[in-house]
Structure 1
Amino acid sequence: MIAVKLHDIGEGMTEGEILKYYVKPGDYVKADQPLLEVQTDKMVAELPAPTEGTVKEIIIKEGTTVEVGTTLLYIEAKKKEIQNKQVVSVANEKIKTEIKEMVPFEQKQIFYTPHRRVLATPYTRKIARDNNINIEEVPASDPSGRVTEEDVYRYIEQKRNSTKTIPQKTKSLSNEETIQQTSLIEEIALNPIRKKISKKMTKSIFTIPHVTSFDEINMTKLMNMRKELKDSGYSISVAAFLIKALVIALKDFPVFNAELDDKNEKLHVKKYYNIGIAVDTTEGLLVPVIHNADKKSIQFIHDEIKRLNEQARNGKLKIDDMKDSTFTVSNVGPLGSTGATPIINYPETALIAFHKTKKMPIVSKNDEIIVAQMMNVSLSFDHRVADGATAVNFINRFKELVEEPNILLLELI
């Protein structure tokens, strides 16, 4: 009997939601035939049959979220297939029994194991130390007793909430009023993407000391150049120009295209430039990646932005589209944003946000009042690896390339 388990089909995947099965018990399947559809934190994927045979039993129901490694169903392989695979009978029966009795991942009970040597990774212990938490007091959500970083964050939040002063009610609610208020509360379960965003943002903000630098950029010349190109039949998005300028600035300030190895106290500066593009979708924020942007033309970058946006919003991004970003861009200007303090896409060292471009009166170099198209930018960076002066100089370099597009073109030659 072959156990089909949920395996890691993406970077760092820990769990997935079973959306639907394509088979039922008794169906005969061929090797690599799709068996079911799984929603991960980044995409919808199909799990294929590992062998040819008959579906004997489906263990996990549709709509259930389970961890990687969980057995989903069993296939009775053809005899010649069985001879080539290790058959584990007693262990499989034990696993099968445990799975039938387990509760959904979200409903795990907390396991307390006082007065013991806590099982935890060095990184988890560091989080506890940095927040003055005794890790032995942290309840573990894993039956093995291992304390995870999520357990520590949850414990920190609980301590914060417990110290808040609860105001006294001047008038208690009647049972009828309480029922009426309860009926006005809607509970919405977080989808896998939103849960992943929550965990990653929490890790980023608790790990990285964020600092945000703000500036404004005169977009007038770039907008005029774009208009001339459009009149000539070349429709290029502003974002494509900005990303190209950004890559040039990153080469001059490589600390922002790096990853900090906190454990070994080393900074890994990357000589490739993979720019993540934050995309707002109905399921949550996704960050597809333009790989090797330094080697791509502005036209190619424009086409790639368009493709990745469409794939993200249609739920058709591939695993390779989401991998190995070195720096992330959030283009929130089209939504009307004028400023923000964005959270860094961990483990990167910086993230830049482009805000709304609008016409404003400014004072020219000749002390004349003129109308210009101005855009605000906000750069969040890791203060462990860079100081404010470095961030300002980086923005100034980027600003120079955008405000004087002729200089940008010269850098491309």
Structure 2
Amino acid sequence: MAIEIHLPDIGTDSTDVTEILVNIGDTIEMDTPIIGVESDKAAMDVPSPKAGTVKEIKIAVGDSISTGTLLLLLDPADDEAIATEADTAEGKQKPAEPVIVLREVSLPDIGTDEVNVTDILVAVGDVIAQEQPIISVEGDKAAMEVPSPHKGKVVETKVSIGDSVSTGAPLIVLEVTEQPDIATPSAPVATPPVARAPVQQQVHQSVGRENSFVENQEYAHASPSVRRVAREFGVNLAKVRGSARKGRILKEDVQNYVKEALRVVESSGGGDPLGLLPWPEVDFHQFGDTEEQKLTKIKKLTGANLHRNWVRIPHVTQWDEADVSELESLRKKLNKTEAEKESGIKFTMLVFVMKAVATALQELPQMNSSLSVDEKTIVLKKYVNIGIAVDTPNGLVVPVVRNVHEKDCLALIQDLRELSSKARNGKLTKNEMTGGTFTISSLGGLGGTAFTPIINAPEAAILGLSRADKKPVWNGEAFEPRLMLPLSLSYDHRLIDGAEGVRFLNSLKESLKVVKEELQTL
């Protein structure tokens, strides 16, 4: 009888299949990775809980699956078949009594090698629900809460605030009540043991050929986490030899490839892979007193991302100004009314611009697109999620306001207030920092007249706002003072040409007039 292998609970409602790691006819061991999946929270491999031979694969790359989805059918290994026959011969068993067991909850794969524990959200003696957050962690990419995969009573905590932990590290111990599927048979079925082939022989039969060198990295045998590392280093996986089973590429293989590439470049006197001169090493202390401060994790990650985006994306920046004289007068009037009502609501120019940007993005969808990794496909998004750059004590972060095109100004005010507070307190989750389609960086509260914002890949554009200022504007008969808001639009020239950039800014300015008309009805 074939064994059904289902997707276990991996801590997310839905996940996408990125790889099928086995083929029909493969003989696999227990815990052999069978598929790669990627969700909003992390990318990971899903192991098989059983050994056997792959009989049928029920899913395909690109499928969206959830807990319990049937993945594949296995013909059981010899000992599994014996157990199945024994169960059949014994007949239907009585349900066993619930048992109390101790379950150790470990840190799942959250897409980063190491994170720091920032908060313990449960205590010994607490009774918690499945998916209830148990600890908060902060890594290079984001701060997030880790949920429990089980419900039960906390009997021990294994970590402390400030600990550095990695995937698989024990976090807590739970006392869990479980209901076994069947009772233990009263008498074992006497079946002679069947000799199993050595693992090495099974692997040999499964592979059956040498690891072939692939020219297209799409066909390289690597997990999503390894592919992510390769993308960060800019490595074509087709050029990396895998050291694992079936020629599978490990993270160490990519790291060794990068080290060797750097060694070759250095030995040839090329400076670095981009052909640049090495960074100058200067003893600054010889010129006077100095102080060294370590970069925060957020600053290190932001710096690496900004450097990559600036080098790899052909930026064009378009500057313009929007007349916001009437809009600013209306904003002050609305805030005065809200202050009298003591509602706590405060209208800002940023909220008005967000509404206008959402309208302009729907009129010009190319600005709301992304270029595929192989640079052969444009992805046009039907939704508008706007990232807002927030300056925090630890560095720049970009929380994302979702579905801006469906919300009014009051809803956006509430979203911005919550996200900004979380950002400054280091409480943003990974989900609140992903999924953006366009970014706004506002420096109007600080000053300046214009700047060149760097695109937040894989988005196509970013809008910078500087301080609005009174300027003389010709009205056809005379100059009159008008409040002008500087706009700095950077866009990916591979996706957007100059004419489209100008059209977007023109659409944005017209949309601000519509926002003003809508606000007048409040």
Given residue 384 of structure 1, which amino acid in structure 2 is its aligned partner?
Answer: R
2:436 to 317, 325, 343: 325
1:113 match: none
1:339 match: 450
Given residue 465 of structure 2, which amino acid in structure 1 is its aligned partner?
Answer: F
Q: Distance in 2 between matches of 1:315 and 1:165?
A: 32
Q: Distance in 1 between matches of 2:259 and 2:465?
A: 35
Q: Distance in 2 between matches of 1:257 and 1:149?
A: 36
1:97 match: none
2:507 match: 397
Is the alpha carbon distance of 1:53 and 1:271 closer, same or farther for their aligned partners in structure 2, counting shifts above 3 Å? closer
1:194 match: 299
Q: CA deviation at 1:65?
A: 4.0
Kept in 1: contact 2:387–2:398 (CA 8 A): yes
Kept in 1: contact 2:439–2:462 (CA 8 A): yes
Q: CA deviation at 1:16?
A: 1.4
Task: Indicate whether 1:6 and 2:107 are aligned.
Answer: yes
Q: Distance in 1 between matches of 2:399 and 2:232?
A: 32
Kept in 1: contact 2:240–2:253 (CA 8 A): no
Given residue 146 of structure 1, which amino acid in structure 2 is its aligned partner?
Answer: V
The answer to which structure, 1 or 2, has the higher relative contact order (CA under 8 A, 6+ apart) is: 1
Q: Secondary structure of the residue that 2:449 maps to in structure 1?
A: coil
Select between 204-213 and 347-356 the one with higher mean Cα deviation: 204-213
1:305 match: 416
Q: Secondary structure of the residue that 1:272 maps to in structure 2?
A: coil
Q: Secondary structure of the residue that 1:370 maps to in structure 2?
A: strand
1:286 to 389, 393, 397: 397
Kept in 2: contact 1:128–1:152 (CA 8 A): no
Post-superposition CA distance 1:176-228 (Å, at most 9, x none): x86x97x834241523x333323332332233222211112222122233234
Kept in 2: contact 1:258–1:349 (CA 8 A): yes
CA RMSD of aligned residues (A): 4.4
Q: CA deviation at 1:329?
A: 1.0
Q: Distance in 1 between matches of 2:240 and 2:313?
A: 21
2:252 to 144, 147, 150: 144
Q: Secondary structure of the residue that 1:341 maps to in structure 2?
A: coil
Q: What aligned pairs does 1:237-316 form with structure 2 within 5 A after superposition?
A: 237-263=348-374, 265-316=376-427
Q: Distance in 2 between matches of 1:387 and 1:206?
A: 19
In the alignment, structure 1 segments of 5+ residues that lack a partner are 85-115, 137-141
Kept in 1: contact 2:133–2:145 (CA 8 A): no
Post-superposition CA distance 1:351-381 (Å, at most 9, x none): 1011111112233322x22211112111111
Q: Secondary structure of the residue that 2:417 maps to in structure 1?
A: helix
Q: CA deviation at 1:274?
A: 1.3
Task: Indicate whether 1:380 and 2:493 are aligned.
Answer: no
2:328 match: 223
Kept in 2: contact 1:38–1:47 (CA 8 A): no
1:163 match: 277
Q: Distance in 2 between matches of 1:371 and 1:245?
A: 24
Q: CA deviation at 1:128?
A: 5.5
Kept in 1: contact 2:316–2:491 (CA 8 A): yes
Is the alpha carbon distance of 1:203 and 1:252 closer, same or farther for their aligned partners in structure 2, counting shifts above 3 Å? same
Kept in 2: contact 1:31–1:49 (CA 8 A): no
Q: Secondary structure of the residue that 2:466 maps to in structure 1?
A: strand
Q: CA deviation at 1:125?
A: 10
Q: Distance in 2 between matches of 1:42 and 1:31?
A: 25
Q: CA deviation at 1:143?
A: 6.9
Is the alpha carbon distance of 1:158 and 1:406 closer, same or farther for their aligned partners in structure 2, counting shifts above 3 Å? closer
1:42 to 139, 142, 146: 142
1:214 to 319, 329, 334: 319
Aligned length: 352
Given residue 188 of structure 1, which amino acid in structure 2 is its aligned partner?
Answer: K
Q: Distance in 2 between matches of 1:363 and 1:261?
A: 45
Kept in 1: contact 2:142–2:429 (CA 8 A): no
Q: Distance in 2 between matches of 1:83 and 1:145?
A: 42
Given residue 142 of structure 2, which amino acid in structure 1 is its aligned partner?
Answer: K
Q: CA deviation at 1:2?
A: 5.1
- Identical-pair percentage: 27
Q: What aligned pairs does 1:73-222 form with structure 2 within 5 A after superposition?
A: 73=171, 75=173, 121=227, 124=231, 127=234, 144-147=252-255, 158=272, 163-164=277-278, 184-191=290-297, 193-222=298-327
Kept in 2: contact 1:36–1:48 (CA 8 A): no
Kept in 2: contact 1:127–1:152 (CA 8 A): no
Is the alpha carbon distance of 1:241 and 1:71 closer, same or farther for their aligned partners in structure 2, counting shifts above 3 Å? same
Kept in 1: contact 2:154–2:173 (CA 8 A): yes
1:16 match: 115
Greater CA radius of gyration, 1 or 2? 2
Kept in 2: contact 1:29–1:55 (CA 8 A): no
Is the alpha carbon distance of 1:252 and 1:392 closer, same or farther for their aligned partners in structure 2, counting shifts above 3 Å? same
Is the alpha carbon distance of 1:54 and 1:385 closer, same or farther for their aligned partners in structure 2, counting shifts above 3 Å? same
Q: Secondary structure of the residue that 1:317 maps to in structure 2?
A: coil
Give the structure-1-normalised TM-score: 0.69
Given residue 353 of structure 2, which amino acid in structure 1 is its aligned partner?
Answer: L
Kept in 1: contact 2:134–2:145 (CA 8 A): no
Q: Distance in 2 between matches of 1:153 and 1:221?
A: 59
In the alignment, structure 2 segments of 5+ residues that lack a partner are 1-101, 182-212, 215-219, 242-249, 266-270, 339-344
Q: Distance in 2 between matches of 1:399 and 1:315?
A: 34
Structure with the largest fraction of helix: 1
Post-superposition CA distance 1:289-322 (Å, at most 9, x none): 2221111112322332233222322334355433
Q: Distance in 1 between matches of 2:256 and 2:485?
A: 42
Is the alpha carbon distance of 1:327 and 1:125 closer, same or farther for their aligned partners in structure 2, counting shifts above 3 Å? closer
Q: Distance in 2 between matches of 1:400 and 1:152?
A: 54
Q: Secondary structure of the residue that 2:445 maps to in structure 1?
A: helix
Select between 353-362 and 377-386 the one with higher mean Cα deviation: 353-362
Kept in 2: contact 1:35–1:49 (CA 8 A): no
Q: CA deviation at 1:327?
A: 1.1
Q: CA deviation at 1:52?
A: 4.8
Give the structure-2-normalised TM-score: 0.56
Q: Secondary structure of the residue that 2:420 maps to in structure 1?
A: helix
Q: Secondary structure of the residue that 1:324 maps to in structure 2?
A: coil
